[in-house]
Amino acid sequence: MSRNLELPPVEIQVESRALVRDRARGRSKLVGAMVGLALVAIGCRGVLLCVRPAQQVIDVGMVQRYDQVVLRAARGEILDREGRRLATSVDTPTVAVDPEMIKADEVDSLAASLARILDLPVEEVREKMLRKGRYVKVAARVHPAIAAEVQRLGHHAVWTHSDPRRYYPEETLGSQVIGFVDAGGHGRAGLEQYLDEQLRGGSIVVQRRRDQLGLDVDRPATWGNTTNHGLNVHTTLDRQIQHAADEALATVMLESAPLSVSAVVVDVRTGDILAMANAPEFNPNARSEEDVASRKNHIVMDAIEPGSIFKPFTIAAAVEEGIVTPDSIIDCEGGQYYFNGGDVGDDHPKGLLTVTEIMKYSSNIGVTKLAFQLGAHTFIDYLHKFGFGERTGVPLYGERRGMIRNPDKIRPIELANTSFGQGATASPLQMAMAIAALGNDGIRMRPRLVSRVEAVDGVAEVRHEPQEVMRAVSVETAQKTVAMMQTVTETGGTGTRGRVPGFRVAGKTGTAQKVKNGVYSEARISSFVGLIPAEDPVLAIVVIVDEPTQGSKYGGIAAAPAFAHIAKRSMQILGISPDPVLLAEEKKVPVAELPRSTPREPVRLTWAGDAWSVPDFSGRSVRDVLVGLEGSGLRVEFEGSGVAIAQKPDPGEHLAPGQSVSVVFQ
């Protein structure tokens, strides 16, 4: 039998409202006290940070509040020896916009106005105005007149500011020597690279405030006029002589079509380099990928076999050692000389010759016998005295040392070849300084390309005075050698085209075989070295023609006329008058000269929207036309030499880049 159990009801205890209120008040007071204590602690910490802030807090605050700006010095100038600018820095306007300050309904009209002024596509300008950010560059390096027209728009979101740009007033003049700078303002060739640190000067860091959005609200402070400028470099280059060298090389390029041609002019007494020219040339104001090869400075960066222009040093060594005199007779074997280990031949076979005639007729056999009499050690030692086999110390990167054989290992055939410039290598600058040593009574000078480096206020930081390296030969030997070299340009010599009216010239021609793929080829390096005036030398000039492909390949024909042009113009520039007696005597003797046009305004092409408007070339020199067409993309065809007498197409007609213009010279 089951029973149902019934449980008693549970009584729920309900707290009184008064008790609940008391408990809530207690909890509220506790939370309030804790919050109060926290606020007091935070306040105390805040006061402490204000009175004695931690360095970490200071650093974070500075980063958020201030922005650092680096102010770089304006790049120093490069000048010629008369203080004329060869490289300078100019401020060029840049047009910029603030897209956030341009209203949507203003974009189209403002873009159209800017595009018209800047000659840019409207869509390109409009796209830049729609970009995000507070600064967008619309156009850089605009003409100041165009920048002024932009400012006249008066729009608060459009403005112009100036950025420094490296500018070369003489354009192609001495471009391989001066060099150029990259977009970051760093020198990348020539003196711009070698003296980059001095030219760039220093820099300072200034701070400006930023708002809560991180935008700059201050302009950086200005930097004093005397401290925001790099050092100025004064070179020994003479702008006018450099121009004369460029004229001569341009004609050689046209008439001989070589791979390259180079010339260097040196003051024999000081070692100053008055000109250092290379062709093809390039314009550092308008560089392109196509002119990379033309940026090479062959004067210092080429080590070539000099050929017969080496012979004066072999002869000078023999005279200095007392082995021979200028009148000593050497048997040149009728044009072919056999010896133990090889044989040597002459292009113009001769029998008995004096040492002077060996120089005049450029006999390989004659100088070979002199080298054998000197012996390897003595002969090589004299070559080192003249500076071969070692760098000259010119302030340019990439200078070649050249190669002179070890006298302990040299074979007879190698000694013979070295005596007339084969199997040894030298740079054109080494040749110039060695020839200058003969003109300087036997004393070899260190080449000087930079005379001083000074601050903008004219205070010289560095001075380079003329420096003697060593005596190569005695005064008497040097003068005898120069006198023998003078016969080279006289009737019957190999360098008659190197004559200069009214002056005696001491010279030497060279025509060296060019090595290709390790063997001698049919290609030639034609050269001419000389001193003027021969009786009291002032200048040493070297002209090197690398692989002429048109006309004669002999140095006396391919290179000597360029020497004559440079020498004649240099004498005029230096104020050295020709001898009137010599002028009268030489009227009957033809002298190879290069045509020169009367100085006029440069040839300028005009862009006609989609093509070039061809200018009138009549009466212009080859150089004028070449410079005028440079960078146009037009193909050039030349005929003849002298000044322009005809052209096709006619002046005023239009040519698109890639089309040809033909000019006839006479």
Between CA 135 and CA 117 the distance in angstroms is 20
Q: Which helix (H) or strand (E) holds 159?
A: strand 158-167
Q: Helix (H, G, I), strand (E, B), or coil: what is residue 28?
A: helix
Question: What is the token pair recorded at 272?
Answer: 């100053």
Report which DSSP code applies to 178: H
402 sits in the region (left: phi over 0; alpha: psi -120 to 50; else beta) called: left
Sign of CA dihedral 434, 440, 444, 447: negative
Neighbour count for residue 73 (Cβ, 10 Å): 20
Question: What is the token pair recorded at 290?
Answer: 């196509």
Paired with 234 in beta bridges are: 79, 452
Which listed residue (89, 262, 308, 621) is catalytic?
A: 308
Between CA 121 and CA 98 the distance in angstroms is 19
Nearest to 66 by CA among 208, 212, 217: 208
Q: Which helix (H) or strand (E) holds 345?
A: strand 342-345
Neighbour count for residue 113 (Cβ, 10 Å): 17
CB 360 within 8 A of CB 488: yes
Beta strands in 61-116 (DSSP E): 66-72, 78-79, 85-97
* Residue 308 is among the residues annotated as catalytic for this protein: yes
CB 374 within 8 A of CB 318: yes
Between CA 332 and CA 652 the distance in angstroms is 63
Q: Helix (H, G, I), strand (E, B), or coil: what is residue 278?
A: strand
| Residues near 163 by beta carbon (within 8 Å), at least 6 away in sequence | 91, 92, 94, 140, 141
Residues designated catalytic = 308
